[in-house]
Chain A
Amino acid sequence: MMSASAVVFYILSFFILVTGVLAVTSRKIFRSAIWLLFSLTGIAGLYFWLQMEFIAAVQIVVYVGGIVVLIIFSIFLTQQSGKDLPAPVRSRAIFSVLAVCAGFLFTCMLVGQYTFGAAGRPAAPGNVAGGVSVGNAVGDIRVGNGTGDMSVGNIGRQLLSTSEHGYVLPFEVISILLLAAMVGCIVIAMKQTPENK
């Protein structure tokens, strides 16, 4: 007997996988982008199901609102409308399906054999109180650093903290990377000026 939450999980994962398959097999590139959009939205739903609201919001804002829109714009800029993508060469398609299935089965076998700490189940809410792990979850959990709940406030505080478990250095590195990527994009996509020609 499955609970409602388990049913929601299986429906969500079915939706993600079906739209993902359609995104990589559709012959029309615009439809492919729209299927990708659905798949990414389904993944955001999976984050909501995992009670990671902040990550789900980031997923929707950055992926659905940013990257997919960027992809659709680039499709409009570079494709002739109404032209189908060529079908993959049959031998290559067969080889790809075989390789992908073999890799999937191998990885699933490894994942299925591995036993996670407490049988891979989330700790009961009572076991985790304010970042102090009391329970049986995993043997080597370090006793908490005050990050018990996953609220946005806690995420922001630890992300910008300079103390032991702070992530301010990667944060700054990422910000430099984003700046460099922005400058790089402008330089690469800029039209050549006439005197350069």
Chain B
Amino acid sequence: MSQVPLSHILFVSTALFFIGMYGLFTRRNMITMLMSVELILNSVNINFVAFNKYLYPDKLEGVFFTLFIVAIAAAEAAVAIAIIINLYRNLRSIDVEAADEMKF
């Protein structure tokens, strides 16, 4: 592990973050947009764990932040999927362009 500098792990997580951003930009389907959000949250988790391991190896703060982010991501995915299923019942589509009832 000591062979790899911290910045290389940060490059990987940055690349993963922007892959998720690309997905958010180009996808119009709500489930695939949710997948992109999961990739972004995972890149943040990699950052927390790497910082904890490399810079503060005698602390556990990064572990706790990662655990809380995972818990919040699970709650967020569950609520998002409930909303998506409800939208599908009403609109027969989960395209973000179809959900324009509240558009002014």
> Taking the nearest CB of chain B, how far is it from the CB of A60, in angstroms?
11
CB-CB contacts of B50-67 with A at 8 A, as 1s and 0s? 100111111110011011
Residues of B with C-beta under 8 A to A6: 3-4
Specify the main secondary structure of chain B where it touches its partner: helix
Residues of A with C-beta under 8 A to B85: 74, 77-78, 189
A9-B8 in contact given A137-B57, A189-B85 (Cβ < 8 Å): yes
CB atoms of A104 and B25 under 8 A apart: no
Docked Cα-Cα span, A188 to B75, in Å, equals 14
Docked Cα-Cα span, A49 to B15, in Å, equals 19
Residues of A with C-beta under 8 A to B46: 43, 46
CB atoms of A50 and B38 under 8 A apart: no
CB atoms of B23 and A23 under 8 A apart: yes
Docked Cα-Cα span, A155 to B68, in Å, equals 13
Of A107, A137, A170, the residue contacting B64 (CB under 8 A) is A170
Q: Which of A62-77 contact B (CB under 8 A)?
A: 62-63, 66-67, 70-71, 74-75, 77
Q: Which of B11-64 contact A (CB under 8 A)?
A: 11-12, 14-16, 18-23, 25-29, 31-32, 34-36, 38-39, 42, 45-46, 49-50, 53-60, 63-64
Is B72 located at the chain interface by the 8 A CB criterion?
yes
CB atoms of B86 and A189 under 8 A apart: yes
- Which of A's residues lie within 8 Å of B, judged by CB? 2-3, 5-6, 9, 13, 16-17, 20-21, 23-24, 29, 32-33, 36, 39-40, 43, 46-47, 49-52, 54-55, 58-59, 62-63, 66-67, 70-71, 74-75, 77-79, 85-86, 88, 92-93, 95-97, 99-101, 103-104, 107-108, 111-112, 114, 116-117, 119-124, 128, 131-133, 137-138, 141, 144, 147-148, 150, 154-155, 158-159, 167, 170, 174, 177-178, 181-182, 184-186, 188-189
- Provide a sorted-by-A list of 10 A–B residue pairs whose CB atoms are within 8 angstroms: A13-B8, A17-B12, A29-B29, A32-B32, A39-B42, A55-B67, A78-B85, A92-B25, A100-B18, A141-B56
**Other CB < 8 Å A-B pairs besides A78-B84, A185-B81, 6 of them?**
A9-B9, A23-B35, A63-B73, A96-B25, A99-B21, A186-B82
